[in-house]
Amino acid sequence: MPFAASLTRARAALFGPSPPLVAVLRLAGAIGRVLPVSRGLALGALAPAIERAFTLDGVRAVALEINSPGGSPVQSALIHQRIRALADEHDVPVHAFIEDVGASGGYWLACAADEIHADASSIVGSIGVISQGFGFEGLIRHLGIERRLHASGASKGMLDPFRPEEPAHVAHLGRIQADIHATFKAMVRARRGAKLRASEDELFSGAFWTGGQALALGLVDGLGDMQSVLRRRFGEKTRFRRVGPRPPLLRRFWRPGETGIGDVATGLVAAIEERALWARYGL
């Protein structure tokens, strides 16, 4: 018997059973790392916290607080897979609670749970893939700027925002998106299965819904907040312990005013991109 389980049993024998314990893991923000000091969700930063959540002494369940508009499909899949692997290894149920948004990659994370709850007004879904950007070829032509791009490989400079789009390159991007979308759909089918109550054309169109609508579609299992739902499930004396990632070493020593101009510019672009993710859902 593992030492932690032995300790729990000995403590129960002496003092009676402890109130149920739920580990709370917060997954908030855009998914994917942009800068070393970024708060984006990525497995590299979250892995230790996920491990701790499933190995707390006496833990009865892990709750995921999700508030994410999506982002990197790779990081979404990696975080999802790590949660599922530990849930199966330790035989600990997982419950997801969507706050403002659990859309696109945010919904991918929610599907790591055995049950998904949302607020009636949460935004849920957006099971699709998107690529967005700008085209500046007209602007630089107007300004008299000549774009010079030298590459080895016919497609190395594809989708350059300063050159006109080429149909073959757009078609190639479409095939990549279709492949990622197929992976996303397969995961939702595997995790939600018979709970889904609408056609795939509707569910996987990239549309998003309120929590109440998502419940009718089978994308979530119920409406409610974390403490109310889990206290009904495990008892009024249920304890909640938050488990989060420790700040990276760089952030511990970083001071405002010490960032270079390049980092500020990069951070500004990252902030604009993250803001655009939230804005898609009216937030």
Q: Where are the domains of the chain?
A: 3-126+207-279, 130-192
Query: Does residue 269 have a pLDDT over 70?
Result: no
Assessment of whether the complete model's pTM goes beyond 0.85: no
Q: Could you tell me how many residues make up the chain? A: 283
CATH 3.90.226.10 matches 3-126+207-279: yes
Residue 186 to residues 111, 116, 210, 269, Cα–Cα distance (Å): 12, 18, 23, 33
CB 73 within 8 A of CB 129: yes
Determine what percent of the chain is predicted with pLDDT higher than 90: 59
Neighbouring residues of 245: CB distance < 8 A, sequence distance ≥ 6: 45, 46, 48, 49
- What is the DSSP secondary structure assignment for residue 146, as one 8-state letter? P
- Round to whole Å and give the CA distance between 80 and 72: 12
pLDDT (tens digit, 9 = 90+) per residue, 160-204?
777 778 888 888 888 999 999 999 999 999 999 999 999 999 999
pLDDT (tens digit, 9 = 90+) per residue, 25-67?
999 999 986 444 446 899 999 999 999 999 999 999 999 999 9
pLDDT recorded at residue 254: 46
| Summary mean pLDDT of the chain | 84
